[in-house]
Amino acid sequence: MTLLPDRSEGAMQKQHRMTLGLTIAALAFIGSSSPDTDRDAPLPNILFILADDLGYGDVGGYNSESKVPTPHLDQFAS
């Protein structure tokens, strides 16, 4: 009989998954319980763009010599 915690790879992965799941659940709960202060206030305009292999100089708005056409991103940047 051992009193040390199980440090096997499977047990650690299970612990990481449980920690991640509890963190996500806590954040979802905290985010959903906002106070009813001002329902008529305008919401902020937030746009989150996730792009793979897109560098700062690839968008035409920041690099006029860009070889990749990005007209919609250029419109957002201007």
- Mean per-residue pLDDT, 31-37: 64
pLDDT at position 34 is 61
Q: Please, what is the average pLDDT of the chain?
A: 78
Q: 0.75 exceeded by the pTM?
A: no
Residue-number span of the structural domain to which 70 is assigned: 45-78
Please answer whether residues 55 and 68 qualify as being in contact, where contact means their C-beta atoms are separated by less than 8 angstroms: no
pLDDT at position 23 is 92
Higher pLDDT, 24 or 49: 24
pLDDT digits (tens, 9 = 90+) for 13-29: 888 888 999 998 888 88
Is residue 73 assigned to a domain?
A: yes
Cα separation, 20 vs 17, in Å, equals: 5
Instruction: Say if residue 46's pLDDT is above 60.
Output: yes
Is residue 17 assigned to a domain?
A: no
The residue to which tokens 């897109």 are assigned: 54
Is residue 49 assigned to a domain?
A: yes
Cα separation, 75 vs 78, in Å, equals: 5
In the chain, the number of structural domains is 1
Is residue 18 assigned to a domain?
A: no
